Amino acid sequence: MARKQWRCYHCDELFSNLRCAAVHFGADESATTACLLSHERHLVEHIRNLENQPTSYRTESDNVLKSIMALEADHRQALMREEEKGFTRGLCAGRRYGSQVTMPASLETPTRI
C-alpha cells in the first residue's frame, strides 16, 4: 500500500511524514506555508504551535480549563448547600415562632385578578 504524500505547490517539496507536512503547511487553510515565511526551522515549528493553541483552549482537554471547571462546580455545590441550610433554618424558625406570629388579613384571603 502506498504511503500518503503531500507536495507543496510553492516550493515543490515532497512530504511523506504527516508531522513534517503539518509543520510546512500549517494547521488550516488560512496558514501561510513555511516556504513563504523567512524563517529558521525552529521558528516555523513555534509559529505552528501558536496557531494550534486556540484550538486547545477551546477544548476541555486543557488542564487549566479542567481545573477551572472543577472549581466552578465545587463553588456551585457549596453555594447550593448554604442556601439549603438557610432555607431549613428559616423553616425551623417559622415552625418555632409560627403560633406567635399573626398573618395580616390581606395575606390570609386570596385575591383574584
What is the predicted pLDDT for the residue at 83? 94
- What DSSP state is assigned to residue 7? E
Asked if 11 and 50 sit in the same domain, the reply is: yes
SS3 20: helix
What is the predicted pLDDT for the residue at 30? 72
Are 24 and 33 a contacting pair, CB within 8 Å? yes
Q: How many domains does the chain have?
A: 2
- Within a domain: 67: yes
What is the predicted pLDDT for the residue at 90? 86
What is the predicted pLDDT for the residue at 12? 78
Q: Which stretches of the chain score pLDDT less than 50? A: none
> Could you tell me the CA-to-CA distances from 100 to 91, 96, 108 in Å, in that order?
15, 9, 16
Q: What residue numbers bound the domain in which 77 lies?
A: 63-96
Asked if 51 and 70 sit in the same domain, the reply is: no
Asked if 46 and 12 sit in the same domain, the reply is: yes
- Within a domain: 112: no
- Within a domain: 82: yes
Asked if 22 and 47 sit in the same domain, the reply is: yes
- Within a domain: 78: yes
